[in-house]
Each structure stands twice: as structure tokens, then as C-alpha cells.
Structure 1
Amino acid sequence: MQSYVSKARGGRVVQTPFLEPDQQDELRRLAKAEGLQLEFFGGLPMAERQVAVLFPPEVPRVSDPTKVAVLRFEGDVEALEDRLRGVLEPGLLGNLEEAQEAFLLVTLPRGLKALQEAGFAVREAAPEEVPKSRERTRSVVVPSLRVDAVGSKGFGVSRNYFAQGVRAGKVRIAGRTVSAKDEVKEGDTLVAEGLGVLRVKKMLGQTKRGNVKLEVEVQR
């Protein structure tokens, strides 16, 4: 992260690859210490993986470099992600979500080109195909039903960041303050101060790798 900050410190606009939430937290800390402007772009509302753009205060604005693609694939989200990681350079894979009869994939322009050249049934999404609302129902895959695992994935923040909020007493289910190790169940509504509300609508079962697939409704 420090290398991106060093480049931006010299007056340049610097774009990162897709970062995981814990990397985003670290970059926020470094950018703030250096007095740099910082914007994140994930392509989809509440995206977990995001591209960061660092820029000096005198630059008024920066553009969104991400592309949202519609991709058809016979298989589940975990199998598709494995295939994509075999084709895309590290840092070109953003969020991947199931959509109606297809998947929505966030990448960068060269990532979209690489997938097309590799023979994937993929195209750039039309504006009306890209969700805009921060109130969404979607499926997520989590390693467990623990509050910190479900909350961080649902809100698109790092697990460490969400766990800090839990420890501070800012996360509740049915009015009761919860711990990170507590588990959610179908029908639970999780309220996180500063983030929003997450409702577990349906348990969709386990994936082949033993992870848990949930349908959640998130309001931010």
C-alpha cells in the first residue's frame, strides 16, 4: 500500500488493482496520514473488492475505472471464480455476483478484453443491468454463520473492521447486543450502527467447499 501512497505524494493520480477490505482499511489510514484524497470504486453497490484511486488535493475529481460485465457460465460462483483466476492477472477480479441466468462481474477494461479473448461468453453490462440501489437482495457465500462473517460480507467491509464494531457494542439482533462468535439464523435482522440493516432472508445451503450460501437483504 505504501508504494501507491508514495507515487501519489508526488502529485500523481494513482490507481490500484482490486483490493480486499482489509487492504482498503490500510490504504485509508496511509492516505489520511499523507493528506491525500482517496476514492473507491467497486462497480456494484456494497462491493467487497474495490479499486482505489489516490490523488492530491488540487485534483477536483477522478473517474470510475471499473467495468461491470454480464457473464454466462454453467456452474456455481466458486467454480467460476476459480476459472477467472486462471485467466485474469492478479488484481483484475472485482466482485462476482449471481444474476438472472448469468453472473455480474466487476473488472477493469483489460480484464474484460482478456476474458473475451479467452472465449468467455461475456459482454459489458448495459446501464439498466447494473444495480444502483444500496437497498439490495442478493446471495452471498460465507465461511460460517458467525455474526462477523455474515456482517462483513453483507456490508462489503473487512471482517476486522466489522468485528471492531461488534466489540464496541454497535451490532444488535432483535435489540440484543451480539458478540462476533454469535451465529445468525434465517429471519434474523442484524442492525449495525453506521453501516445499516441486514436481514437473513433464506438459507440456501452449503457449497461444494463447505461454505454457506445465504440470501440477504441489505439496506445502507
Structure 2
Amino acid sequence: MSDIYQHFRKDEEPFIDQALEWKRIVAEQYRMKLTDFLDPREQVILQSVIGQSDEVRLEFFGGFPEAERKRALLFPEYAEPSAEDFQLQGWEVIYPQKFASIEHRELLGSLMGIGLRRQKFGDLIFSDGTWQFICSEEVADFVFTQLTQIGKVKVSLEKIPLSKLKVPEQDVEIRDDTVSSLRLDAICSAMSRQSRQKAQVLVKNGLVKVNWKVIEDPSYALAEGDMVSIRGFGRFRMKNIDGKTKKGKWRLTFEKQK
């Protein structure tokens, strides 16, 4: 099993170990295992680790089909999980919309400020002036009592069923491209439609995040599922890496969120 690590980055090994432990628990104890919210790259890794196992099955759900962050449910092959097994709670933020505004970073910062990890929260949804978000059911009561202010705005929370989430239509541009390598600077060049030299400057100046972490190494290798944020150019997701062309370039598909 140790050769599985060669397919992933060194910094991903702790998550692989965790995924293997989840798989072992389900296989040996014949019970479901529910994870915290996983980002798209973690979902790809978990899918790879579980593979086509006959003993352990895998499903993801984040409250709505297009969710970016999702909880994973590992379960024995005979089990039939339902949406309730993912233990999600939807919230709507109540605040005086006519007199105040709330930014994404302010909502996320306030959620982190109450002492919970990002993994306890799913997507933050904004539509028609209304903010909604999803959290793990096990922390719902704590969130309700602790989140009373976002930035300078006094707020309260209202529980809502997942069916009441106001998910806006996603405006995503899908691009196919070829790059000389899977290095961060090469792919940032394709994503931002700039020269590789200019992309390197962005990376070295700390203006590029991969999976929400600043990466300043231009040689950092990207993989399927990675979320890339380039300041001034937007957010992108590595959707597929489709092998090499006859000339040795990598074929890839990525999504740009508009």
C-alpha cells in the first residue's frame, strides 16, 4: 500500500494516511464513516484512495449538487445512505440589508473567529443580498449562539432546510489548453493568459494560492482538483489532466469562475 504515496505530493501524505484509516474502519467495523468538509483536491485524493473497492463505497454531498466543499461518507457495500446521513445544517444570516453589507471574507473570518476549523463549514452562498452557509450538524448549536456579529454588523441566524438554499446559477468558463509542464508558473501563465515570466512574478510575490494556501514556489506541481486563486485574475479549478500530446505537452482542462 505504501506505493500509493508516489502518486501524490509529499504534503498530502497526512491526508492519505487519514483516508486509509477511514477505509480500514469501515472495512473492519462494518459501519459508516462521515468526514468533515473536504475541498475539491481532498475529494480527488479520497476517491483515488478508495478506488474501486468492493468493501467500501464512497459518496460526497455538500448540501446542493454544485457545492465546492463536500462531506464524504464511506460505507459498507450493503448500506444505502441518504442525504440525512451527511448531517448538514443550512443557515441564513439575518441582518439589515438596506443599511449594511457583508463581504465573503468577513463572513468567513467571523466563522473562523468563533473557534471552529474551516473543515466544519461548507460553501458560503450569496444571492440577491442574502448570505447563507452550511455547517456540520454537530456544531450547529454552537454556531447559532456564537455568531452574533460579522465585521461591524450585528447579525442573527435562522435555520433553513437545504431545499431553501438560494444557490445562484454558476457562471463558469471551461478552457482546454496545453502547457509545457505541470509547474505552478506554467499553469498560472495559461490561466492568466500572461507570459510565464510574469506568472513567476505573481507566484514569488505571494499573489497565488493553491487550495487556499499561498504558494511562492514556481516549481510547485499542480494536480487534478486543485483550486488556484490568482489575485487580479480570479479563481480556477484544475478539472482534468488528460495526458501528453505527441510533442510532449500536457493537455488540461480548467474552470474559471466568473
Distance 2:140 2:171 in 1: 23
SS in 2 for 1:96: strand
More helix by share: 2
The answer to whether the 8 Å contact 2:120/2:136 transfers is yes
Please list the CA deviations of residues 90-144 of structure 1 after superposition, one character each: whole Å capped at 9, or x if unmatched. 2211111212232110111233211211143112224553247xx82469xxxx8
Distance 1:69 1:164 in 2: 29
Match of 2:238 among 158, 163, 166: 163
Higher relative contact order (CA 8 A, sep 6+): 1
The answer to whether the 8 Å contact 1:9/1:34 transfers is no
**Is 1:27 matched with 2:46?**
yes
The answer to whether the 8 Å contact 2:225/2:239 transfers is no
| AA partner of residue 117 (structure 1) | T
The answer to whether the 8 Å contact 1:69/1:112 transfers is no
Q: Which residue of 1 aligns with 2:92?
A: 70
Q: CA RMSD in A?
A: 3.7
Q: Which residue of 1 aligns with 2:141?
A: 113
TM-score (norm 1): 0.61
| AA partner of residue 102 (structure 1) | T
| AA partner of residue 63 (structure 2) | G
**Which runs of 5 or more structure 2 residues have no equivalent in the other structure?**
1-18, 96-100, 149-155, 173-187, 193-207, 212-223, 228-236, 245-249
SS in 1 for 2:112: helix
1:76-87 mapped onto 2 (5 Å cutoff): 76-87=103-114
The answer to whether the 8 Å contact 2:69/2:123 transfers is yes
Q: 1:179 to 1:3 in 2, by over 3 A?
A: same
The answer to whether the 8 Å contact 1:45/1:131 transfers is no
Q: Which residue of 1 aligns with 2:98?
A: none
Please list the CA deviations of residues 30-52 of structure 1 after superposition, one character each: whole Å capped at 9, or x if unmatched. 22254311111101331111100
What percentage of residue pairs aligned between the two structures are identical?
Answer: 16
Displacement of 1:18: 0.5
Distance 2:189 2:131 in 1: 24
Distance 2:49 2:133 in 1: 29
Distance 1:18 1:112 in 2: 14
Q: 1:5 to 1:88 in 2, by over 3 A?
A: farther
1:106-185 mapped onto 2 (5 Å cutoff): 106-120=134-148, 121-126=156-161, 129-131=164-166, 136-137=169-170, 147=191, 158-159=225-226, 163=238, 165=240, 168=243
SS in 2 for 1:165: strand
SS in 1 for 2:120: coil
| AA partner of residue 27 (structure 1) | L
The answer to whether the 8 Å contact 1:37/1:54 transfers is yes
**Is 1:14 matched with 2:33?**
yes
Displacement of 1:23: 0.9
The answer to whether the 8 Å contact 1:147/1:179 transfers is no
1:42-53 mapped onto 2 (5 Å cutoff): 42-53=62-73
The answer to whether the 8 Å contact 1:19/1:49 transfers is yes
Q: Which residue of 2 aligns with 1:3?
A: 21
The answer to whether the 8 Å contact 1:44/1:131 transfers is no
Distance 1:145 1:111 in 2: 41
